[in-house]
Amino acid sequence: MRTEELPITEDFAGHVRLHARTPICGAYSIEMGALDWSWEYLSSIVGDKVVRPMVNMPRSGKFPGSYRNHETSLTFGDFVDLSRSNPSTPCYLAYLRPKELHAELGEDVDFSAISGADDHTDTRVWLGSQGTNSGLHSDLKDNVFVQIHGKKHLWLINPNQTRNVYPEDDNIVNSAIDFPNPDLSTYKKLRSVTVLSRVLVPGDFVYIPKGWWHCLVSLEDSISLNHWYGSPVADEEYIRLIWKQGLGYASRTFLDLLRYGFFRQTQKNNFFFTPPPNGLRLYNYLFRGGFSLANDPVREQ
């Protein structure tokens, strides 16, 4: 496994608007109030609102059983205190829209210089302690990630290396590898992969093209934003990726089509906000008109 530094550009928004298919790090040229967020500011406006963070999280980013087993109810202030105390196990309030925390926070976020008039966008806020790990995964849409407070380590892998990052048997967008600490004696194909890497600090913006594998680990208590936008990975591209993993992988997908599509078995949730299994997504493609019907956060709005 070879590591290279993620490139930096002075014209971040321009690079993204050109629809370049390569990741880049830089600064945003438009003023955004979210860049001034701090734990103290968020606490002052969110107050004693009850939230549902995940606590006592595994540092691998993988959850035995279900990530929902780690959810609990806390006031936002208590969650902030826990996040800043450097707990022995990570805690995370993740995947929330800013306006779901407080209406004013939604007004602080403006990605229009990048996504333009695109109506199919979605912005999320991620808050947590040192040690949170997203796991190695890929996203449906182009992603602009913003680090607001604290530091995070980011790793990126080209989607043309999908077979070499060992996607889960039933999930083409989540890797089975314990990243960033892989067992290279078990996952030998990872040795040939080039990984882009960068420690993100407050004010850093990163463009992650759709389909690129990425993993983010908090080095300190952290506040981050991300913005998904644009056209999704095509249905046919996902189906091609499944087939390229080999006959055994494709056979598992067809078996899961029966399990989850026709027999309605309950799927596991052992990753952050686990997408439907490949088989259920194939069922949706064949009978409901879209492979990613249940994997597009914009549809939840």
Q: Does residue 272 carry a pLDDT above 80?
A: no
The SS3 assignment for 269 reads strand
Long-range contacts of 60-64 (CB under 8 A, 24+ apart): 60/133, 60/135, 60/178, 61/133, 61/134, 61/135, 61/136, 61/179, 61/215, 61/271, 61/272, 62/135, 62/178, 62/270, 62/271, 63/269, 63/270, 63/271, 64/270
- What sign does the CA torsion over 168, 130, 217, 205 have? positive
Give pLDDT, residue 268: 81
- Tell me: the pLDDT tens digits for 151-181? 999 999 999 999 999 999 999 999 999 999 9
3-state DSSP percent of the chain in helix, strand and coil, to 5: 30, 25, 45
Fold of the 2-229 domain: Jelly Rolls (2.60.120)
Give pLDDT, residue 63: 87
Percent of the chain predicted with pLDDT > 90: 82
Q: Where in the chain is the domain with CATH 2.60.120.650?
A: 2-229
The per-residue pLDDT of the chain, averaged, comes to 93
Q: Does residue 205 carry a pLDDT above 60?
A: yes
Rounded Cα–Cα distance for residues 83 and 28 (Å)? 27
Rounded alpha-carbon distances, angstroms, from residue 176 to 59, 60, 119, 125, 166: 14, 11, 33, 25, 6
Provide mean pLDDT across the span 197-219. 97
Rounded Cα–Cα distance for residues 261 and 213 (Å)? 27
Cα atoms in the Cβ-side hemisphere of radius 13 Å centred on 168: 23
Give pLDDT, residue 36: 96
- The more confident residue out of 151 and 271 is 151
DSSP state letters, 208-266: E-TT-EEEEEESSSEEEEEEEESPPPPHHHHHHHHHHT-HHHHHHHHHHIIIIIIS-PP
